[in-house]
Amino acid sequence: MFVFNTGDGTVSLIDPESDELVESRSLGLSSSFPSNQYTPTLTDDPDDSLWLNVGRGIRGLAVGSLSETTTVETGSGANWLEQTPDGRHVVVSAREPSHTQFRIDADRASETFGEVTAEIDRTPEGGRGGRDGPGPCDVTIHPDGEYAYVPDLFSDTLTVLSVDPFEIVTQIDVEPVGDGPARPWMGTVAPDGRTLLVEHNESNGGSESIWTLDDPAAPSQTARLTAEDGLGRRPLTSEIGPDSGIGYVFTPGSNDVTVVDLTNGTVTTRLDLGGSAFVGTWDPSRTKLYVPVQTSDEVAVIDHERREITERIGVGPSPYGATSAPVRPRSDPAAAITLTTARLGISTDRAETTYCIGNCACGHRL
């Protein structure tokens, strides 16, 4: 498990077998929303890349050495990304000011590895309140690899992309709950490809919509959950269990995780994190969900079968993003020294920032 600490630009490595901290290393960068949907099952070679949102673009790091493999500038400090199930592409949503979708070559054997192979400029669509574009915010990919889904924060739409050819297939208007805009901003497709969860940053504390993907090119909303249904406040991101029947919605407004029965469209329980958390990620076997709790400098471990928090692991300062891989980085004799200088603030190099929400002091520029 790779947990990125925004407080000092380090990464904490956790062994999912023992749920123990292996070590922390100074990377000089951090990532809030790394690719974690299919990457954990694709990175079985030390030279494969972890894909991160860093600075004003996307960064690849070799999983075995944590050395840089590629960098792609997007013209925005707010980026979300996912790798396709076949490992060939990384699809990116770059929000304002770019308002652009990118497709990047993720095949390290390819002559164009790390290059943008297609893009969609979405600024002509405009956005609510005279904005310069629709605000593509997050991206999640269907397990068949054919379609990607993008919630548009500034236009209240859900956009369906074809991955190859890279183009917009359809756009669906998303209705609000109560007064004000719907503000869809994050989403997650279930492993079986039948369900899509979408989080909404609405003024009433937020809502969660559930969509059927019986036709993957045309999602249809089947349920909408609010605080009246037991949903926690300000839903931000989500993960879906390996059986595709249970959703975990990270609700930092109430410092918990809302557990949702996707079949019935109901909230079953809330798990108290004891602090603010924005994302989570599965271990490679998809049996446990690891949740960085930013305000307590720890990772909460949720056992999927038991639906409860079973461990709390101390990591670095202000952990935010996380991803996983079946490969552990090789030992680095200099790692201890660089970690010490990073923790003491001695290093003269500032850690590269990442887009984040909340008490993070990430210093990003849109």
What Rg do the C-alpha atoms of the chain give, in angstroms? 19
Output phi, psi for 312, to 5 deg: -135, 120
The pLDDT value given to residue 348: 47
CA distance 328 to 64: 6
Measured in residues, the chain has a length of 366
Q: Where are the beta strands (DSSP E) in 27-99?
A: 49-54, 57-62, 68-73, 79-83, 89-94
Please check the confidence at residue 357 and state whether its pLDDT lies above 90: no
pLDDT band at 226 (very low <50, low <70, confident <90, very high): very high
Q: Which of 350, 246, 297, 280 is nearest to 24 (CA)?
A: 297
Beta-bridge mates of residue 121: 100
- Integer Cα distance of 52 and 160 in angstroms: 23
pTM of the model: 0.95
71-97 pLDDT, tens digit per residue, is: 999 999 999 999 999 999 999 999 999
Residue 218, token pair as written in the block = 């045309």
Tokens standing for 351?
């850690």
pLDDT tens by residue, 326-351: 999 998 766 655 666 666 665 545 67
